[in-house]
Homo-oligomer: A and B are copies of this chain.
């Protein structure tokens, strides 16, 4: 088994569909969210261009949980399934266990206030779409993200129309 570690910076967006909360009480509501679109692009000298998109075979579902006190923080989790397209390697890899985006310090909804987000994961296996029942072909060791600003429709469009090498 040979291993190599790669670190890649991605740029792009994700889009969240949010239900109406069951109540406006900050300490007592039920509120579900789904990620319904996601496009990220990065590049690495060994892996080539990488495009990340939602895995259309599964739902990326989540929930915002109420705070325990009126001035406390709410919490958010979204269990995300994506596909990493690496055309230079001729390979698309995907996760079976969710990539868990989470935020323990939600102070407003939508929680677009998290510049230092990270996914909760540990050596998360990634599988080859061409051999989905085979062994993991890679492991995701870390995923950090910022979810702290909106982008314009023109920027969204340019990510959507982007073609990999």
Number of residues from A at the complex interface, CB < 8 A:
25
A75 contacts which of B1, B123, B136 (Cβ < 8 Å)?
B123
B97 pairs with A1, CB closer than 8 A: no
Beyond A22-B1, A28-B1, A30-B1, whether A122 also contacts B97 by CB under 8 A is no
B75 pairs with A102, CB closer than 8 A: no
CB-CB under 8 A from A30, the residues of chain B are 1
For residues 113 through 146 of chain A, which have their beta carbon under 8 Å from a beta carbon of chain B? 120-123, 125, 136, 139
CB-CB under 8 A from A51, the residues of chain B are none
Name which of A3, A66, A98, A123 has the most chain B CB atoms within 10 A of its CB.
A123
Q: In the complex, how many angstroms separate the beta carbon of A136 from the nearest chain B beta carbon?
A: 8
The 5 closest A-B pairs by CB, nearest first: A1-B30, A102-B122, A120-B122, A77-B123, A97-B98
